[in-house]
Structure formats: structure tokens, C-alpha cells
Structure 1
Amino acid sequence: MPRNPSTGVYSKPAGTTPSVGQVIDPAPWNALTTDLGNEITNSLPRDGSAPMGSPLKLASGTVSAPGLGFSSTPQTGLYLKGGGLLGFTQNGVDLVLAKASVYSVKTGDYTALATDDNAVHRFTANATVTLTAAASLGANWQYVIVADGGTVTIDPNGAETIDGAATLIVPNGYSAYLICSGSAFFTDKVLTRLLAKAESTAVGSFIDGLLLSNNVANPTTHLDFAAGSARSGSSFVSSASTMTKRLNGTWAVGTGNGGLDTGSVAASATYFAYAIRKDSDLSFDVVLSTSATIGGVTTTLLTGYTIVKCIGVVLTDASSLIRQFVMYPRDEYTFVTPVRDAFNAAINTTSALLAITVPNGVKVKANLRFMYLSSATTASALFSDPAQGVLVAGGNNEGGNVGTIQVASSFAVGSDEIWTNTSMQIRRVAGASGNMWVWTDGFIFPCGRNA
């Protein structure tokens, strides 16, 4: 067959190029006309009246001169890119088409590979996604992570970063879109904006859950914090599970570790519990401090954390052990063993302050019980909030809350809830000299729990 099937070049059969006066041999001329007829039949008609009978082969072309173009706009069409990839050009400009997405469900840790380019992976449990080196994935590698059942931690390779950070946390219910530059990773910042908006637009201050309790195994040294959440202004943090912190150890991240911001546990001291949030992944933790204010907490160990809110308080006894307590809703504490703060102590008509076992540095409402003994046949004792100033006990004055002696040297009893000053004190006075007993059953330290 005269046409070369590889190059498409047609060559006439031998003996079909006559000279003047030569007698034409019909055999080669018949072969020529048969070949011409066959090749005309095998040619593609310009009017499109017949289709191709085999694959159409084009020149590779370039972005400015595509292998398949148009007569009116020759720079628009198809061409072959490097690596056997098909390219689309429009007026000499390369068109980048979106890649097909591949969806898959993941239930645990996963390493993202080059073959996951443009994949959408839905994680249904807590997981860590380790990224292959950016140079191996290459520029324009794209990946979508959907956290639907757990928090997903994205961890780039080695010292590589994602949005400039060592890791990126995708909280449950959120998603992240990743792009590789060939040396680092970036997101479309939607996740960051959503989380920032949730912070900045929220207002108010509250605690939901996060009740304190003595740890069952180590009740005098360890504290448990129930699941819950806390907000103060625009700062919010939550915990889905119980956390345990040691009062007899300096702070370290995570449950079961130390909780003190500085120093060592002291005797007869007050420790305030603060909910803190890790800035990089919004995770929950607790720090314990003798400071009654956030500003006074020592933050040396808390780099990368935000102190959100005070969520409770605990007291130690003379042996530096945690006083065992029961915490009820609305920030109410009851000591497992009532503390006797006054025993057969003198009381008289001169008003004075009385120290009791409650948190130091803040005002609390103490839950108190009293006994009063006097040789007078008619007298009462009055225990009150120091903010009320100096009061006088007796029916003709400010009254009493420990009853009235009707028989000389007999006991009178009473109870009351009384606000203290910031030095753990209430005020006491009697209508007649005598002796007093005072028990502290607990206190209310309002942190913001509504239930």
C-alpha cells in the first residue's frame, strides 16, 4: 500500500511516472488509480458526512499552537502537556480545570498521600492526619478534611507548617480545605474565621457543668472536674470528659498531672481553679492558683494558653490536704466533715470579727451553725455580714440568730447563711457575755453556674 501508515505520506507505485512518447503500461496505472480511490475513501470528508473509522491522531501542539485548533482562532483548542496530560488553551492561555473529587470515610489516624490529591475524607472519630512531605505532594495538591464524629489534628511532615503553625485542629463539626505550595501547607482560612467569629460575637459569662469533686482514689491530693463548658466574654472552652488534676504538683498539660501554677501545696490555704484553653487547638485544661483573680495567676507554665474563667475553689487543712467536700449546683459546697471554727470561745456585747473556714480573698456566703451559752436569763447572739457594720444584739436592737437564753447557763442554738468579707471573717456580738460554738458546714462561692 503506497501510503505509509506511520507517517501518512503517500508514495506513487513504481512505473507510474511516464515520459513523452512512452507507451503506458496499464498494470501500474490501474494500481495507481485503485490506490487513489482507496485513499480518497479513507480520507475524512470536510463536510462531516462520514465519521472516522479509527482514532484521530493529532500533533502534540503547544499552549500557543494547540494540536487541535480552529481556523478563526488557532490559539484556542487542545494540546498535549508534559507527562501525557491533556491541556486546554484559550487565546493562548492555559485553562486549569478542577480535578475530580474522591470521597472516603476514615475511622482513625491516617497518612495523606500524593494519591489523595483532591480527595475529601470524612473522619468519624478522633484522629491525627499526618501529611506526606510537601515536596513529595507537590504544588497544587489539594485535600479536604471533614470532622464528623471527632476532632481531627492535621500534622505536617517534620518542621513543615500549615498556615504557619505546627499543627491545625479541626474540631468536630467543622471542615478544612488544604493546599500544598510544594514547601508548606495553607488553608482557605474559613475554619479560622468561623472559630474566630464564634469567639468574638459571643457575649456573657457562664459555667455549664465542670463541677469539682474529690478524686475517689486520691481524695486528699487529686481533684476531678466534670465535663462541661465555660465562657467569659468572648473566651470559651469546653471539655467532653472528666479531667483530674493533682494539687500537690506544678502544672503540666493533661489529665492526671499537676495543677499548681507555681510553688508547692500549702497548709490551710485556698486554691482557685481556672478553666484554661490551649490557643492552637482550643483544648481544655485546668490550673490551680492561690490568686483570687485571673490577673494574679502565674503564667510561666501556661505559654500558649488563655485563662478563660474561674470555675471553683478548694481548701486545704493544716496538713496541706484537700478538705473533702461535695459540690452542688449553683456553686454550693458542703464539707464532708463540718469545721468547728469556735469552741467555747468568749463572746460579749462588744462587736468583733470572727475568722471561719471559707475561701480567702473573696466574699462567700457561709453556711453556719451556732451555739450560745450565757448566765443571763434573757440574751441572744447575733452573727452577721461585716459589710453591715457594727450591730447590737437584742430584741430592742438588731435582734439575734442564735435564739434567746430563757434559763441561766443553758444553751441556745441557731443557723444562718452569712456573707463574709474577703478575709474569711463574719461579725459576732451578744446581748450578754457568754461563750460560743461555731460550725462551718460549707459555703457558696458564685462562679456563674445557673444549674
Structure 2
Amino acid sequence: MPSDSNGNYSLPPGYLAEVGETIQPSQHNPPLEDIRDALTARLMRSGAAPMAGPLKLTDGTVGAPAVIFNSAQTTGFYKTATGVGLAISGSLIAEWKSTGLEIGGRVDFVTETLLADKAVTLRKLYKPSGPSKLLGTNSNAALTITGAANNGSGLIRLSVADSSTFATGQKKTVFDVLGTTEANGTWTITVVDATHIDLQGSTFTNAWTSGGTIGGGVDELGLGAGLQLTGSTLSASLSPEGTTRKLAVDVLTNTTLSVTADAVVMSDGTSTLTRPINSTGVNLGTNGGVDALQGSLTIASGTMYSLWAIGKADGTTKVLVNTSDTAVTFPTGYTFKALIGHVRTVSGSANLMGTKQRGKKVRYIVGLAQTTTGLVLITGASGSISTPTWTAVSLSGLIPAAAVSVVVSVTNNGQANGIALVAPSNSYGSPTSSNPPPIVAGASSSPAIQGYVAAISEILLESMNLYYAATAGSMMLLGWEEP
């Protein structure tokens, strides 16, 4: 089709007919065929057919855009000096450039933020150095690296102008180092002095040639005490250390027990770890690992054992058993701990007494392991109930030293006129005293009401002794409450 570069159409030569001349097919047919081709190549207003090539537009201006709307002819798109602009009512609102989108004027829902360095990357967002890491900014700018060398021990040592905004133990990402390319990546750092930073775990191999930054933008932030990041949820822990939810400790056999909990708060001294525990096969017949006795300890008779929940930073939890209420020797990789309970072995054999613990409450269970009968602390007449004169009954070895209370049963053993008293100290009065009254179990001499009388009570401990006085009776230990 004879169209010039500006789209001007010209009819084929020889089309013109003269008056009185016969019109030849060569005059008639080519123009109509050319018109047919031209109409086929048109851009249909209905949009029924697509463009077969690029659509060329005039550059336009901010006041007369190249692409406009019929009802708003100063609104549309036009070619700017550096990109493509969007004009609304003759004003530039946005411009697409090779460096990205720039927003002009006032747009309330858009916030413009300038990132000064390359520390914000998908590498940091998608590849943190470990689980449950919080990404954010401490507002400290990236440092320019001016050199890299062997620190004398094989680690990479970076030179910077001023390291005062960084701290040992922080996670920092290194970018764009040339030569010592092995420095690029995320590292735990050691601030050596005012101008040097070591990359922990690195290996210096290649000489530094130029370039590089460290830190800035998005960094891994530490969680303060009382905060726990689990998956994508940041929450306050159940602190303090040793707090539990739905804790259950069950002696199973003479040497084994089960420890489970929906959550236990453990601490490494500076931060907390809150995790569930599911150690259903803790074995005091083994040692040197986890869910076992600590180190080289062996199960012994007449011993109170401390139950520790222990955890790793990655969330792994187990149980460790020892004889200390204050410290543990951790197996490899474990750094978090919490004292959660106690079990004890029977005097005379290295076998566990049968107990069950729910939360902080522990009870002896008759018929379980070595708890074959109730634990009678004292029986028969003792002291005097009238003054009274008390007999101290030691609880040492029967309950943990830090127990806050015990549950006891005191009875008159079914004796006529039998009365038995128990109190947490020897300052309590007689059965008829009102300040302070003891716990009383007794019976009258009247045949109609003689019989076996028992009182069960939880007593808040004032020492590791209970105090007993009786004309006849006994006192039995049922359990205790953990601190």
C-alpha cells in the first residue's frame, strides 16, 4: 500500500480516467484492491482486532498528554525527559523512571522512605541465621569497609572508620566486598576495637581489593527478657522461670517417669524460652544424656531428685534429673533450664516412691512403684494435748527442702477418747484454744459417737518439722506443694 512514513495514503499510478476514454481493468482494480488493504490494516474503534505492531504515539506534554480521556483531555500519559509521566488535570502526579516509581505532589496513603544502603535484601528477609529471628532496624547506618585481613587466628577482620555503633554478638550482613568475597554474608560479629570488627566463624582466604559495607537497614534484632517469638507470633512469656501450664509428672515404674506440659518457661540467665515438654520415658536407671540422670549420677536409695526442664535455642526440650535445686550441668547444646518438680527413692532401695504431680501439687499414690502403704510419720500417744507438749516430727528427706506446704491426715486410730493434734510450729495451743488452734482429730467416750475420726489438711510450712501431740492416733503424709 503506497503510504509514506507519516501515514499519508496515495493512490496507485494510472488510476486517473479521462472523459471519453474506455476505463481499463488496470485503472479500476488496483485502487480498489489498495483501498481494501488499507481498510484491513486500520485500527478498529470497536477493539475487535488487536494491533499487529507497536502503537506509536506523540510524546505529548503535561498539559496535553499523548494518551487522554474524552471527558478529561488534560489527564493521561505522556513522555517525559527521563521516563513516562502520569498527568491529572494538567499536573504531574507520578513518573516511572529507570530507577523506579517517583510520586509527586501530596498522596496521603503513600509514604516515601529512602534506603541508604544495600542491607535491605531478600537474603535477609528469607534467609535469617536461625529460627524465630526478628527483623527490624536499630537506626544505625551501614559502615563502609576500608580493608579486610586475617585477624591472626584465621578469622576475617574488617577495618571500618568507627565501630562504636555496633556491639559484639550482633548479627550483621556484609555486602559487595571484592577480593575477600568470602566475607559477604551474614555473621555474628565481635567488635575488636574502635576501627576493627571480626566475623565469627569466618575463614580468611583471599586478599581484599576494594569495597564493601556491613550492617544498616534491616538487621536481626535480639528479643529482650519476657518476649518470645514463636513462628510469626511475638508474645510475652509466662515468666518467671519455672512457670508451667498443664504440667504432669507421673512415676511409672521403680526407675521411670513421664513429664509432659503444654508450656514451660526456661531461662539461660538473660532470656527465656517457652516450649512444651513431652518426655514420657525419663529413666533414672540411665545417665549421661537427656531424659536421664545428669552426668555420672546413679540412682540411690533415700534420695530426693530434682527434675529440670532443659531446652535448646532451636526449641528442643528434654528433662534432666540431678540432686541440686540450684544448678545443672547441661548436655551439649542445651542452655535453658527450669526446675519443675521432684521425685524421691524409698529408704533402703534405689527405687522410686509412687507419686503424681499436677502443676505444683504432688501426692503419694498407694500401690504405685514403692508407695505400698501410706507414709505414716508418727503413731500412738505422744506429748500432752492439754498444755500442749509437742513432739517435733521431721519432714527432711520426705519432701523437697523448698516445699511450701504439705498435706497430712491426722487420726485418732479409732480409740475412745483418742485425740491427736498437729500444728506447723510448737506455738499452737490445746484443742480448746482459739489462738491459734491446732488441727484436731478426736472422739468422745460416748458409745454413740465413738469411732475412727480423721482430719485431712494442707499445712503451710514454717520449718521442716511438723508438731504432734496425741493421747492416741497417728499422722500420715499425703503429699506436698512445690515452690
TM-score where L is the length of structure 1? 0.49
Structure having the higher helix fraction is 1
TM-score where L is the length of structure 2? 0.46
